[in-house]
Amino acid sequence: MNKKSKNKITILGFFITGIVIGIIGSLVFLGKNESPYLKYPDRLGDVVAALFVMGTQEFDSHTAEKWAEYIGVPPKSAPLWSGIFLEHPEFFRTSEENKVSLVWRRARNRVWDTKTRKEISQEELKNWSVDEIQNRLSREPLSAEETTKLIEIAINLQTQSIARREELRWFVPFLVGIVGLFIGKIFK
């Protein structure tokens, strides 16, 4: 075997080694940075359930345990609902008092009377007692259209996560293979 043939075999060996290392590396990389929508098969269903209940319930914030009661079933993709709320800050926020709310509702003013189901003015609010404010005042629930929009966003995030994983699955081994080829050229 001549020197030129040995160099080609060495370069091919580096290239194949680079691809193998790239495949292993991409699997490790993808596992560490994987979206919760991909890590847990039932995550989308859990997020949709939480969005629906939290968007339509009369009060905008509760503890994770209280939200679990309102949702009515344990999550399928986590041991507790609090885990889902923490892994999806794009939808949920936890206050210093450990109360969880939807970001969209939290952005609204607290001027919703849960008893009359109407918005109240600042003038009316001045006549309320502290007890009434604590027990009746909330943020307006989401409309059906707003709730649907949040659910569509969750579906799109899952779709984008799947597409990203597929892109990375092929890109990383190819890139590492090219690097292996250059290393083979350097050491020939």
Each residue's pLDDT tens digit, 19-37? 566 655 555 554 556 889 8
pLDDT at 120 over 70: yes
User: For residue 158, what pLDDT is reported?
Assistant: 92
The answer to whether position 11 is within a domain reads: no
The answer to whether position 29 is within a domain reads: no
The answer to whether position 17 is within a domain reads: no
The SS3 call for residue 84 is helix
The answer to whether position 10 is within a domain reads: no
CA distance 92 to 75: 15
Q: Indicate the pairing of strand 112-113 with strand 92-94.
A: unpaired
pTM tops 0.75, yes or no: no
The answer to whether position 44 is within a domain reads: yes
pLDDT at 104 over 80: yes
The answer to whether position 164 is within a domain reads: yes
Structural domain for 65, as ranges: 35-170
CA distance 117 to 138: 10
Task: Give the number of domains in the chain.
Answer: 1
The answer to whether position 5 is within a domain reads: no
The answer to whether position 71 is within a domain reads: yes
